Chain A
Amino acid sequence: MPDFARQAKLLLLFSRGLLRRWGIRSIPPETFTTTLLIGSVVTLTLLWPSGPASCQSPPADISEQPSLHETTGEKSEEGDAPPLAEEITLLSAQEVIARDAPSDEGGAIVVTWIEPEGAEELGARGLKYEVLRSESPEGEFEVVGELEAGQNEFLDMGLVDGQAYFYRIRSVLGSHRAESAQTEAAFSQGNWFRRYRLNTLVLVIVFSSLVLYYIARARRAKRVYIRKIAGLNAVDEAVGRATEMGKKILYIPGIMSMDEMQTIASLAILGHVARLSATYNADLEVPNKDPLTFAAARETVKEAYLEAGRPDLYREEIVNYVTYDQFAYTASVTGKMVRERPATNFLIGSFYAESLLLAETGQTCGAIQISGTAEVHQLPFFVVACDYTLIGEELYAASAYLSREPVLLGSIKGQDITKFLLIIALCLGVVFESLGLGFIKTAFRMQ
């Protein structure tokens, strides 16, 4: 204990010296809070075992009894398989335990056992385990599962919660049978929390707290700095260009549905583009692949025209549906690009194989192109073929950036602080992992 205290003191002095060397005399309260929170994540996760098997100790009513039957070359009544060439000793499974499956919705019991001696050797000769179940200790046991040798866990599902179940494990090798003792009554029940997701919950709470804290701070009229994003600064210029040229603006909101965050982020940008188009009386067109995105985009554009004070300029043709097929959609949009030569193309959302087809066609048509996606495999294509590209998180920051609402900007700040903390955790993880200590990796393992 004194050693531990001495080490802690030394660590504290070293940290203070390091902070002073970096010119940090006092720690801001929010940094202190966030450090405390991330510390709590690691500590809690370490203290709380995370694996489904280890998160619940066996209930008291479970027996661990020795085997009752051992057979030596004994032929079963129904067994019609040829007897083994040599005399063998088949032992039954040991320490058969049945318990409620942890962290589940109920209706499941886990049966575990220790394989008998020589199971590995007999496994090669076809040793199997049959899981037998009965609803009463004296009742008839029926086979509910069959497993190969080498396996020692069986998940019995589709059970009735609160009903008692008894299990036996029968070792089977050819005509030989050896049955274990039966377990005591096991009951299945539903649980209220998936304990193995505790680390995820703690991270969600920390992240949400940080975001909400900075939103609240922004509400108190604190100025929030956000770096310039060239792609978003160019939006006004791109709409202006199309207006001056009297040509179309083509806005492609990706090919995914509304359950994809990139599509929602894209619609937020579409709202801004539609407002600008309405203000400048520019010609906007939004072809859609997904029907839900189509319905949502239509509402977004309609509201934007209303908000800009130009509902008279809104036409149903602005937002149109093309097809649900990926390449048919691509063919339609690229055809439109070639025929109508739009001045500006926005390719913002979730894209897959069609990304380069769309971007490269737009490039050859001479349009100014602003793209944005979080799909890492499509980003290089957009970077090559478009004038501006919103990379990953820039896409999600777009609505805050364009609206300049302090509340939205506050959430970006919270997100950045979390990223900073994750970078620290990553660096620590690299150091500790190199030293052979894997607890940081364990703390962040998601199941």
Chain B
Amino acid sequence: MRKQIPLLLTFLAGTIPIFAFFVPERHVGLVSTGLDSWLIIVYGFALLLGVVNVVQMNTNKIKRRASGWPYSIVLLAGLVIMGSFGLLGSFDVFGGIATRPDGSSTPFNWLYTNAFLPLQGTMFALLAFFMASASYRAFRARNVEATILLIAALIVMFGRIPFGEMVSKWFPIVTEWIMGKPNMAAQRGIMIGAALGAASMALRVILGIERSYLGIGKGE
């Protein structure tokens, strides 16, 4: 029963949306949208489970003075402060969670704008540096394929900046051709293969042939 019930639920959760895709009948649609609502409820509980896990893990780390334990204090402090302002704000304490009617920031909004967003922006900005180092490694002309890649990349980079167009009007034209033809053809090839792979996997999961995601392996 421990294996049969999850497999039955998977079968139902997989077939109902497919059925609803083809059948416009109202009741079928209601069942399908009902499933979506259940997903949101399950999601909420799973998130709670996640928060409990974060608190447990980091509390244990601090107790054991495990390596990097000061980071856990920062994490828990962030969780408690942001969580408290968010929770209290949802009960309209401190003027809510967005801005107040007079335009001033609520504590939650202030922390979000002045602490969270800059940190997030910093992480995203790192991408430019990582891209440069990855490009340097990828574009070394070690063999014929790498050389072709290097040339194509140079043309595309020149074609995408005003300087390239200034040097030659051909750069943007060739860039468009590279992006629209060989690049797009390769991308679509991968996408078609991946879509078929995903459909095949979905079929295996719905029919209970693929069970490894449940931790049940080797066709039990």
- Chain A interface residues (CB < 8 Å from chain B): 103-107, 190-194, 197, 200-201, 204, 207-208, 211-212, 215, 257, 259, 261-262, 264-265, 267-268, 271-272, 275, 288, 291-292, 294-296, 299-304, 306-307, 316-317, 320-325, 327-328, 330-331, 335, 339, 353, 356-357, 359-361, 364, 374, 376, 379-381, 383-385, 391-397, 399, 403, 405, 407-408, 411-412, 414-415, 418-419, 422
Contacts and interface: CB of A to CB of B under 8 A. Distances in A.
Given A104-B24, A360-B130, A392-B190, A399 B123 contact: no
A322 B210 CA distance: 28
Contact of B54 (A197, A259, A265, A321): A321
Given A104-B24, A191-B25, A320-B57, A407 B123 contact: no
A44 to B, nearest CB: 15
B42 A190 contact: no
Given A275-B217, A356-B134, A392-B194, 9 more contacts: A193-B24, A197-B21, A294-B50, A320-B54, A321-B51, A396-B198, A411-B203, A414-B200, A419-B193
Given A105-B29, A296-B213, A331-B123, A419 B192 contact: yes
Contacts of A381: 134
24 contacts: A192-B25, A197-B21, A207-B199, A215-B209, A264-B213, A267-B213, A291-B47, A294-B46, A294-B50, A300-B214, A303-B216, A321-B49, A327-B123, A335-B71, A356-B127, A357-B123, A376-B187, A376-B190, A376-B191, A395-B194, A396-B194, A403-B217, A408-B209, A415-B200
Contacts of A321: 49-51, 53-54
Interface residues of B, number: 63
B192 A407 contact: no
B96 to A, nearest CB: 21
Contacts of A262: 198
A422 B57 CA distance: 50
Contact of A357 (B56, B126, B191, B202): B126
Interface in B197-220: 197-205, 209-210, 212-219
B91 interface: no
Instruction: Report, nearest first, the 10 A-B pairs whose CB atoms are least far apart.
Output: A303-B215, A396-B197, A393-B197, A392-B194, A321-B50, A291-B46, A374-B194, A327-B123, A268-B212, A393-B193
Contacts of A412: 200
Secondary structure class of chain A's binding surface, majority of residues: helix
A211 B212 contact: no
A392 B24 contact: no
A106 B212 contact: no
B167 interface: no
Contacts of B39: 259
A420 B23 CA distance: 30
A61 B203 CA distance: 44
Contact of A374 (B138, B198, B200, B219): B198
Given A353-B127, A376-B190, A415-B200, A403 B209 contact: no
Contacts of A257: 43
Contacts of B194: 374, 376, 392-393, 395-396
Nearest to B55: A321
A103 B24 contact: yes
Nearest to A396: B197
B193 A392 contact: yes
A300 B218 contact: no
A275 B216 CA distance: 11
Given A194-B23, A264-B205, A300 B213 contact: yes
